[in-house]
Amino acid sequence: MTDTVDHAGGSPGDPSDGSVSGVRSRLRRYRELRLTEEELATALLTPVVCFLLLISFYPIVDTVWGSFHQGYVLEMEPTTFVGLENYEAVLSSGSFWNALQVSLIYTFVSVPIELVIGLGMALLLNRAFTGKYVVQAAILFPWALPTVINAKIWAWMLHGQYGVVNDLLIRLGVLQEPYAFLAHPDVALASMTLITIWKTSSFMALILLAGLSGIPDHLYEAVRMDGASRWRQFRDITLPLLKPTILVALIFRTLPAFQAFGLPYGLTGGGPAEATTTLVLYDQQLTFTQLAFGRGSAVATIITLIALVISLLYVGTLYEPEVR
């Protein structure tokens, strides 16, 4: 940034000198009624910030407030402050702890597996080849599928009597007779986890692919000269340099996985026996089926806190300022 023009709004140059900034400040005086950078930025950002504060930020504060009250939202009764009563009710409920466990298992089993598969896919796609465009579109397609519609697709494919998965497994000799995958608690949760892995590994691959393309080739060439194996190249160059991208990919996938709702809703409705009831599904049923708005707000607040903790943990463990 040596001889570039300094931006207006900061320090106006002396109008008398012949420098570019001098000319610019003369121009600015010439157009006194026009906006400075500062004013234009304010004009552009105020509506956006107000919009976000009202629709995105205030509701969260309101939810926290609601979690300490009873009769919230229901216009029939006045809202009363009840302190920690909602939290006590939630934390002493077996269904809440079950939902927390389901969400944690689902999230922390699916995300690491997605990372490994996504990394494999990214390494495979990290080159030019014929038909790359079509392959990439096909691989990315599952990510674009609406979650709840995807749930319906798999509910049909995993159908206990007529499902194509049963048919394939019988033809392959894995099964003797059709098996009702979604009627057994553990298998239903495992199925739900596998479906997510199928759907979003490619998203992981895409993020990692962007990271891979940012690694300069000459680094590889240098160690190839030293006769380093493929594995050594991967371990000593690819992985360390990919770390920031991996962090982004993990956060991008963990937070949505922790908020899974459409998949259990459409696949199993949360059953059998709450085996696939994730936290958000539990919260949604609590709030809009049982109309327990106070307890629903308490669960939503707990979900928000856990999401924040997860983000901070990731950043804390994986963030390294300035890798040299």
Partner 1 sequence: MSTRSGRFAFDVESFQWVGKKLGFYGSLFVLTLVSMFPVIWMFVTSIKQPANVVQFPVHYLPQNPTLENYATALSQAPFLRYLVNSAIVAGGTAIVDVVLGALAGYALSRLRFQYKLHVLLLILGTAMLPYISRLIPLFSLARSWGLLNDYLGLIVPYSAFQLPFAVWIFQAYFKELPDSLEEAGLMDGLSRIGVLFRIILPVSAPAMATTAIIVFIYAWNEFLFALTFMTQDQMRTITVGIALYQGQYQYPWGTISAAVFMSIVPLMLFMLFFQQRVVEGLTAGTGKA
Taking CB under 8 A as the criterion, which residues in 217-246 touch partner 1? 242, 244-245
Q: Sign of dihedral through CA atoms 57, 60, 64, 66?
A: positive
Q: Which of 14, 26, 60, 313 binds partner 1 (CB under 8 A)?
A: 60
Q: Which of residues 61-80 bind partner 1 (CB under 8 A)?
A: 62-63, 66, 72-73
Could you tell me how many helices (H) and strands (E) the chain has, helices first? 15, 2
What x/- string results for residues 78 through 107 when contact with partner 1 is judged by CB under 8 A?
A: ------------------------------
From 14, 26, 44, 183, residue interacting with partner 1 (rule: CB under 8 A): 44
Q: Is 198 near partner 1 (CB under 8 A)?
A: yes
Q: Minimum distance from CB of 92 to partner 1 (Å)?
A: 21
Interactions with partner 1, residue window 248-307 (CB under 8 A): 248, 255, 258-259, 261-262, 265-266, 280, 283-284, 287-288, 293, 296-297, 300-301, 303-304, 307
What is the DSSP secondary structure assignment for residue 131, as one 8-state letter? Answer: T
Helices (H), ranges, 1-93 = 20-30, 37-52, 58-66, 85-91
Query: Contacting partner 1 (CB under 8 A), which of 26, 29, 91, 156?
Result: 156
The CB-of-171 to partner 1 minimum distance in angstroms stands at 8
How far is Cα 205 from Cα 200, in angstroms, rounded to an integer? 9
Which part of the chain contacts partner 1 (CB under 8 A), choosing from 77-85, 91-99, 182-190, 205-213?
205-213
Least distance in angstroms from the C-beta of 14 to partner 1: 18
Distance CA 240, CA 87 (A): 43
Helix, strand, coil proportions of the chain in percent (round to 5)? 70, 0, 30
User: Please, which of residues 120-139 interact with partner 1 by CB under 8 A?
Assistant: 121, 124, 129, 131, 133-139
Q: Which is nearer to partner 1, 103 or 189 (CB)?
A: 103
Among 26, 152, 232, 235, binds partner 1 (CB under 8 A): 152
- The tokens for 228 are 């380093």
Instruction: CB nearer to partner 1: give 72 or 189.
Output: 72
Helix crossing, 132-144 with 185-213: angle to 10°?
140
Backbone φ and ψ of 35, nearest 5°: -75, 145
Instruction: Give 188 or 202: the residue with its C-beta nearer to partner 1.
Output: 202
Give the dihedral of Cα atoms 4, 9, 10, 16; nearest 10 deg: 70
Site for partner 1 (CB under 8 A): which residue of 17, 26, 57, 101? 57
Identify the helix (H) or strand (E) that includes residue 97: helix 94-125
User: Hunting for tokens 């930020």 — which residue is that?
Assistant: 57
Contacting residue, 2, 4, 16, 92, with partner 1 by CB under 8 A: 4
Beta strands in the chain (DSSP E): 69-70, 80-81
